């Protein structure tokens, strides 16, 4: 199986630094999520343009919540949060975008598929500084979410190269990483370590490029 690797921005970088990071890691990852909650639409669009100008393929870009920015920039996907439009409404506005839903339970994972999402991000699996004070859901709940989901499920939250194999063994279709890459001293080396970890979980002999380049992940807008 070819697993996906998603990297999620942490909202702490200036646009120029974010573009540099995206360009450095994009050869190793399938999708780059821009989760920049504090950026207004105009600034977010400018940041996306910097990233595209740095050589990141638009099909790899997933914009958090802002369908308008995703469409204006020609991004490949949109990540819907709990406060975003439901998938059916988002699909009517942007039929060509790959739609992801953020979910936090097995029931929400099941609903995401029924409502028309293409994939869901489930977390957080392990304790993480990104979610201080919130209990991790653990591998058992992850496995239940995978069983209930009718669409690919990407796990996130406290995932490291060392525990990625255990996560993927529960049936997840890939992993998503925020601080493990964005907070690393060498983001490209960190992304490579994650790619190698999920590659080992796939049982293949050589380390390939991103899974989407090998035909996984559906049609890209």
Q: Compute the distance between CA of residue 55 and CA of residue 43 in angstroms, rounded to an integer.
A: 19
User: From the CB of residue 161, how many other CB atoms can be counted at a distance below 10 Å?
Assistant: 18
Dist CA 113 CA 66 (whole Å): 20
Q: Which of 221, 8, 213 is nearest to 99 (CA)?
A: 221
* Nearest Cα to Cα of residue 170 among 105, 125, 103, 128: 125
Return all residues near 200 (Cβ < 8 A) that are at least 6 apart.
165
Active-site residue, from 6, 33, 104, 124: 124
Known catalytic residue: 124?
yes
Long-range contact pairs involving 41-45 (C-beta distance under 8 Å, separation at least 24): 41/66, 41/68, 41/69, 43/15, 44/69, 45/69, 45/72, 45/73
Q: Decide the pairing of beta strands 61-64 and 31-34.
A: parallel
Which active-site residues does the annotation give? 124
């Amino acid at each position: 199986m070819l697993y996906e690797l998603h990297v999620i921005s942490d909202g702490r970088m200036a646009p120029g630094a974010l573009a540099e990071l995206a360009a450095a890691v994009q050869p190793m990852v399938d999708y780059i999520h821009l989760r920049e909650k504090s950026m207004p639409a105009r600034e977010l669009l400018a940041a996306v343009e910097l990233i595209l100008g740095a050589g990141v393929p638009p099909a790899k870009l997933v914009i958090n919540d802002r369908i308008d920015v995703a469409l204006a920039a020609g991004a490949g996907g949109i990540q819907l949060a709990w406060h975003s439009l439901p998938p059916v409404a988002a699909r009517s506005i942007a039929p060509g975008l790959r739609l992801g839903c953020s979910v936090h339970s097995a029931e929400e994972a099941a609903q995401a598929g029924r409502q028309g999402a293409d994939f869901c991000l489930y977390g957080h699996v392990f304790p993480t500084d990104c979610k201080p004070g919130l209990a991790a859901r653990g591998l058992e709940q992850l496995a239940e979410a995978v069983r209930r989901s009718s669409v690919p499920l990407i796990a996130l939250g406290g995932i490291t190269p060392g525990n990625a194999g255990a996560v993927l063994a529960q049936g997840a279709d890939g992993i998503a990483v925020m601080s493990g890459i964005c907070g690393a001293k060498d983001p490209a080396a960190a992304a490579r370590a994650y790619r190698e970890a999920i590659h080992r979980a796939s049982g293949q002999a050589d380390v390939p490029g991103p899974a989407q380049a090998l035909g996984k992940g559906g049609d890209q807008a």
